[in-house]
Amino acid sequence: MIFKLLPLYLTGKEERVPLNPLGPFRTDPLVYATQSKSGLRVTWFGHSSLLLEIDGTRLLIDPVWDKRVGPTRWAGPKRFFRPTLPLEELPAIDAVLVSHDHYDHLGKATIQCLSKLESLAKAQWVTSLGAGEHLQRFGVTAERIFELDWTQSTVLAGGRCSITSLPARHFSGRSLFNRFETLWASFVIKGKDHSVYYGADSGWWEGFAEIGAAYGPFDMTMLEIGAYHELWKDIHLGPNGAAKAYEALGGPARAGLLMPIHWGLFDLALHGWRQPIERLEEIALEQGWHLFVPEPGLPTEVLAMQSEWWRDQ
């Protein structure tokens, strides 16, 4: 594959990295002093990192505040914009969900910092089977870690919320020598009144329809749209694949609002940095779908809305 990709990287003319620094974006931590009015609020920090507030429970999902995603702090794709909120300013967190062990979903420096914060002192750490070993190495104590195999569930926040691990078509590993040693997954997150599907990383597979039928309906579905290419379509959806998966999950009637994730923060493929969201916009317009696309760092009630923040960047 490297011989196919190298010429594309050398000759490609897409604006893969923004010409000018994005933002600045800023999260006002005082917002968290007030509960979500709708019971469902999201702060999207870029890529797949977000804070989900669901029926009174706060889940920090795939947090990556690291400057770069890679095995060292001085190499690897660099963030397009600075973190919108210092980790020290996070509100009290009930649980941290880490979907799998890739660098753009599990940042070493981020976990090391989070593991020491008072705001996370009582947080449960939920991850895929085998990935807990990474969390322990980065400072999380073993008794706080809950590893899930596919179809297993755990209850959070005194029973107010549950997380169920479900299959996805992806892979794991933090080097070329430890592929497939830990699990990857998608997740259903259920509160008292709301339900969310977090697709994490996945290529297209027929199981999306089964997930929608067995675990839906959802108020919101989060699916990846970035870091895609025809050569690795089996492990990443891209906007076209996300649209197909969304339809299989039940579309607007059963999958709720579609929130695109896994874009807008790192250069992980050959496409322009705006291309994933622009293509998804086209599809949504054709299909008459409502998207949920909040501005980075802005705590936003989950309603049909689209900030279009990227157009002015």
Domain positions in the chain are 39-312
Q: Please choose, from the candidates 53, 28, 59, the residue with its C-alpha nearest in 3D space to the C-alpha of residue 38.
A: 53
275 with 240: CB under 8 angstroms?
Answer: no
Return the pLDDT at 3: 42
List, for residues 3-28, the tens digit of each pLDDT value. Answer: 444 455 555 668 999 998 899 999 99
Architecture of domain 39-312: 4-Layer Sandwich (3.60)
What are 119-123's contacts with CB under 8 Å, separation 24+?
A: 119/90, 119/91, 119/92, 119/93, 120/60, 120/90, 120/92, 120/93, 120/96, 122/92, 122/94, 123/60, 123/93, 123/94, 123/95, 123/96
Return the pLDDT at 9: 52
- For residue 153, what are the β-bridge partners? 164
Residues in the chain with pLDDT values less than 70: 1-13
**Alpha carbons within 13 A on the beta-carbon side of 110:** 23
CA angle 164, 167, 169 (to 5 degrees): 145
Tell me the C-alpha distance between 228 and 262, whole Å: 10
Average pLDDT, the chain: 93
Task: Residue count of the chain, please give it.
Answer: 313
List, for residues 248-298, the tens digit of each pLDDT value. Answer: 999 999 999 999 999 999 999 999 999 999 999 999 999 999 999 999 999
Instruction: Tell me if residue 114 falls in helix, strand or coil.
Output: helix
* Cα 52 to the center of its chain, rounded Å: 11
Return the pLDDT at 232: 84
280 with 87: CB under 8 angstroms?
Answer: no
Return the pLDDT at 1: 47
